[in-house]
Structure 1
Amino acid sequence: MTPSGPVDHVVTSGTFSLDGGTWDVDNNVWIVGNADEVVVIDAAHDELAIERAVGGRRVVAVVCTHAHDDHVNRAPALADRVSAPILLNPAERQLWEMTHPNRAPDRELADGEVLTVGGIDLRVITTPGHSPGSTCLYAPELGTVFTGDTLFQGGPGATGRSFSSFEEIIDSIREKLLALPGDTLVRTGHGDSTKIGDEAPHLEEWIARGH
């Protein structure tokens, strides 16, 4: 794969397991930066495919939006191959340890901090709900937010499993994500992208449906 711009993308396939169930999933892995350096967002399922998509650029960090196993299962393997630190919100530690009990993340992600890579600023927005420390990354100059499993085309991420809260995810989306400009492109952890302005009108419908 030839790097094509400030945001590159690879889809990897595998499984997600929690609460005794296992499901087949396709994950979006996002690679953000320039021709020299990048961050990888959510190292899922296939570190070799991700490394090929990086294309020889320096990986500044492997950033985890949350610690469900389908988003972090290849994070240590990729981090070791490219000599990069793993970044994760500390509230995700219990979930992380379910997958990687003998390997800790290298650094904590804090709400409001800014990661800079290839001249691009990524602002960390903590959005609990799907999981306790779910995190989004907002790149104002790109008009893009990477939402992990917090917001999808058509609604919020799932909250029917352990360590999740429907009330919290709705508050996170309402207060933090829907406050972004309406034309902000939402690049999700699974499935197609959307825009903040396309999702905002449906907030009350989501609340009425509950979870």
Structure 2
Amino acid sequence: MMTGIDRLVTRGTFSLDGGTWDVENNVWIIGDDSEVIVIDPAHDADAIVERIAGRRVAGIACTHAHDDHINQAPRLAELVDAPILLHPHDLDLWALTHPNHKPDSELYSGQWLRAGSIDVEVLFTPGHSRGSICLHAPELGRVFTGDTLFQGGPGATGRSFSSFDSIIHSIADTLLPLPPETVVHTGHGSDTSIGAEAPRLGAWIDRGH
């Protein structure tokens, strides 16, 4: 049985606090040839369904509830008959985009999700938003960080529902202890690794502490 990670880049907008910006999002599909988990269903549900290619979807996991990461979650859930998963601390943020549709289940720290033969652990990493999470696949040596950690530093914290101090603590206490060879799959842009980011994050951590 094949296991794999698939990245689909979708394009749309991100809106919050009265502003709107054009964005490209990474939609991640992880699993095997029979079952997958979709991470952050952004902008184009039809393209995501095409990439799923008929496999069962065990869950639609949202790393946080900014609209560009969740705008297609209800439609995708209907198309593939799968539950939407979100940390409860982001329900207020979710309601700004989907006031009439709630997620189906909660994500929580230490929870394990399974997609076919792949096990993924939920890491609670607040800061970019109150309920931000990352998903760690230890057997694959990968972590999906949403907008918590990018190539070059932490995610943005200058908008509502965010905290610079919290994101720095999340990265320092939860992400940097992962093995340095762990590949970091981000919510936007290119991959990096824990080992590559650790030296760059020293100055950020000093500011946060």
- Normalising by structure 1, what TM-score? 0.96
Q: Counterpart of 2:34?
A: 36
In 2, the alpha carbon distance for the partners of 1:18 and 1:152 equals: 20
Alignment of 1:50-89 (within 5 A): 50-89=48-87
In 2, the alpha carbon distance for the partners of 1:178 and 1:188 equals: 15
In 1, the alpha carbon distance for the partners of 2:137 and 2:118 equals: 7
Could you tell me whether the CA contact under 8 Å between 2:172 and 2:205 is conserved in 1? no
Alignment of 1:112-131 (within 5 A): 112-131=110-129
In 2, the alpha carbon distance for the partners of 1:50 and 1:5 equals: 18
Which residue, out of 104, 107, 111, partners 1:109?
107
Confirm whether residue 174 of structure 1 aligns to residue 172 of structure 2. yes
Alignment of 1:1-211 (within 5 A): 5-207=3-205
In 1, the alpha carbon distance for the partners of 2:114 and 2:3 equals: 16
In 2, the alpha carbon distance for the partners of 1:98 and 1:157 equals: 20
Please give the root-mean-square deviation of Cα atoms over the aligned residues, in Å.
1.1
Superposed displacement of residue 5, structure 1: 4.7
Could you tell me whether the CA contact under 8 Å between 2:58 and 2:114 is conserved in 1? no
Could you report, residue by residue, the CA deviation over 1:90-124 in whole angstroms, capped at 9, with x for unpaired residues? 00000000000000000000100100111111000
Superposed displacement of residue 129, structure 1: 0.2
Corresponding residue SS for 1:141: coil
Corresponding residue SS for 2:159: coil
Superposed displacement of residue 73, structure 1: 0.2
Amino acid at match of 1:113: Q
Where does the alignment leave 5 or more consecutive residues of structure 2 unmatched? none
Superposed displacement of residue 6, structure 1: 1.2
In 1, the alpha carbon distance for the partners of 2:56 and 2:7 equals: 16
Could you tell me whether the CA contact under 8 Å between 2:3 and 2:117 is conserved in 1? no
Amino acid at match of 2:73: A
Where does the alignment leave 5 or more consecutive residues of structure 1 unmatched? none
Amino acid at match of 1:100: H
Corresponding residue SS for 2:64: coil
Amino acid at match of 2:59: A
Could you report, residue by residue, the CA deviation over 1:148-187 in whole angstroms, capped at 9, with x for unpaired residues? 0000000000000011000000000000000000000000
Identity of aligned residues (%): 64
- Normalising by structure 2, what TM-score? 0.97
In 1, the alpha carbon distance for the partners of 2:29 and 2:72 equals: 15
Could you report, residue by residue, the CA deviation over 1:57-116 in whole angstroms, capped at 9, with x for unpaired residues? 111111100000000000000000000000000000000000000000000001001001
In 2, the alpha carbon distance for the partners of 1:127 and 1:207 equals: 15
Corresponding residue SS for 1:142: coil
